[in-house]
Each structure stands twice: as C-alpha cells, then as structure tokens.
Structure 1
Amino acid sequence: MKARHKRFALIGGGIATLGIATALVLNAFQDNLVFFFTPAQVIAGEAPKERTFRVGGMVQTGSVQRDGLTVNFVVTDSVQTVSVLYTGILPDLFSEGKGVVAQGKLDGNGQFRAEQVLAKHDENYMPREAQHALDQATQNAEGTRL
C-alpha cells in the first residue's frame, strides 16, 4: 500500500470514529432532554404522550390529598389544571398555593404521574420558564375574556 493510500485510510477511519462518537453523544443528549409545559399546554395536547416532561404552576388550594406516601394534587396556571399523582417524599417547602414543577409522564387517563416534584426554595423564587408560562397563560386568558 502506498503512503498516500495509508493516509486516506487513516483520515477516513478518523472521520468515521468522530461520526460514531457524535451520534452516540447526540443520542444520549436526546434521551435526557426534558421539556417544560404549563397545564394549559398539556390540556391542549402540546405535551408528549410517551416521553418524560415537566409541568409547572401553582398547587391549587384544597387539592392536596395524601394516602401514606401517595399524594394527589392539582397544578394550575390560572387557566387550566392538571391532576398530578406522586408517590414518595415531597420537598419540605411543598404546600398549597405555592409554585411547583413536577417531572413525569401522562398516563392513559390524562393524569400526570410524577417521578420527581420540585418546590420553590423561597418566597421570591420561581423558575424563569414557569413564571413566563404563568404570565403568558394569564395574558391569554384575559385576552379571551374581553
């Protein structure tokens, strides 16, 4: 084999290795990608049916029902509501009327089955995307009422 052919084979092998590595990294990234949706977007069918996503808003007052470690509560964006079922220990700051972000999937009945629940950590904090989504939902609701 000539030196020129060896060089082309080496370059081709390097490009193939780089392509495979890139494909593996992108595949792993896509599997771990989790999107955020408001209850209004979930009800409108914009949320994925078979993938994990996050839903956020405020815990509706009077909606928390506990049965041992299983908790059922309602998340609202002041326009729509989504029922959330979670089994596990809730964060200490979780309470009615406070901001929450739950990560999980929709079941066949349209109920959100959370795998993780995150509560805001102080009086002034809410994730940017959650605050923006709540503001948008409120503006859209006010626009449809006029």
Structure 2
Amino acid sequence: MKNRHKRAAIIVGGLVSLAVAAALVLNAFQSNLVFFYTPTQVSAGEAPQQRTFRIGGMVRPGSVQRQADGLSVQFIVTDTAKDMPVIYTGILPDLFREGKGVVAQGMLEASGVFRAKEVLAKHDENYMPPEAQHALDQANKASTIVNP
C-alpha cells in the first residue's frame, strides 16, 4: 500500500507541475500577443482598450507634423475609409513617408489618439504588410459599394 501512495503522489505532483508550467507559458504567450486592426475597425470599437495592438494603413499625405524636440511626430494613418491620428516619439524608420504603408504598435488613448511605441515602414517598392493590403482592399470595396 505504501508504494501505491508514493506512486500516486508522484503522478499527482507531476500533473500539477505540468499544469502550472502550461499556465505560465500560456500567460506569457497571451501577454505578448499583439493583434492588427485598421482605422475602420478601431473607430468601430473592435480594438482592445488598455492593451497594446497594431494599426496599419497609409500615411495620409500632408498629415505629418514634426515637433520642435526633433523626436516627436504626429501623423494620420488611413485605410481610405477612416483616419486615425497617431503620436510617436522616437526615430522614425528611413522609409517612413507620406502616402506610403505603415504599421504602428501602441495603445489607444481615451482621447481617441493612438500613442505608438513602435513604427514600421515598408521595406521595398512593392511591399505592404498583408494585413494592411487586405484592409485597404476591404475599405476600397466598401467605398465603391457606398459610392458607385
């Protein structure tokens, strides 16, 4: 009987350890998971509040405003249907331009402004992040249905 109880205790201990390890891994994965949203989805309330996410689209021409400190910049990301104001403090990628594709990672403030912690720009002439291209295609379809 004694060996049987030892074996059961070892099995239960192993299962508990495995469950704790799985919970820690899943928690770490969940906290590092970042979803992509378009300005239309953000304005519709689909983006998470108080969580980091990515927003992507095109930088609206004429919207880039650099601040006097040389590091802060404001610009508008659009998917041609909706616009989202973005504020970023840091060094922008060399390929960041008005009218070009961009993906920004950060959080939505209560004021409706997206505070970016990271800005990614396209890296060659024909590249656009697949999510951003899909969002632009969907926005173009929606605008042609509304305005034939």
Normalising by the residue count of structure 2, what TM-score does the alignment of the two structures yield?
Answer: 0.96
- Aligned partners of 1:137, 1:126: CA distance in 2, in Å? 15
Alignment-derived partner of residue 55 in structure 2: 55
Secondary structure in 2 matching 1:79 = coil
Partner AA of 2:75 in structure 1:
F
The aligned runs of 1:113-128 (5 Å cut-off) are 113-128=115-130
Normalising by the residue count of structure 1, what TM-score does the alignment of the two structures yield?
Answer: 0.97
Pick one of 139, 143, 146 that aligns with 1:144: 146
Partner AA of 1:40 in structure 2:
T
1:106 positional shift: 0.8
Q: Deviations over 1:39-61 (max 9, x none)?
A: 11111111111100000000000
- Aligned partners of 1:127, 1:63: CA distance in 2, in Å? 21
Pick one of 91, 104, 107 that aligns with 1:105: 107
Partner AA of 1:30 in structure 2:
Q
Post-superposition, which runs of at least 4 consecutive aligned residues in structure 1 deviate over 6 A?
A: none
Q: Which runs of 5+ in 2 are unaligned?
A: none
Q: Deviations over 1:93-136 (max 9, x none)?
A: 00000000000011111000000000000011111111111111
Secondary structure in 1 matching 2:139 = helix
Secondary structure in 2 matching 1:18 = helix
- Aligned partners of 2:16, 2:7: CA distance in 1, in Å? 14
1:12 positional shift: 0.4
Alignment-derived partner of residue 95 in structure 1: 97
- For the aligned residue pairs, the C-alpha RMSD in angstroms reads 0.9
Alignment-derived partner of residue 22 in structure 2: 22
Q: Give me the identity figure in percent.
A: 67
The aligned runs of 1:12-91 (5 Å cut-off) are 12-67=12-67, 68-91=70-93
Partner AA of 1:98 in structure 2:
K
1:13 positional shift: 0.4
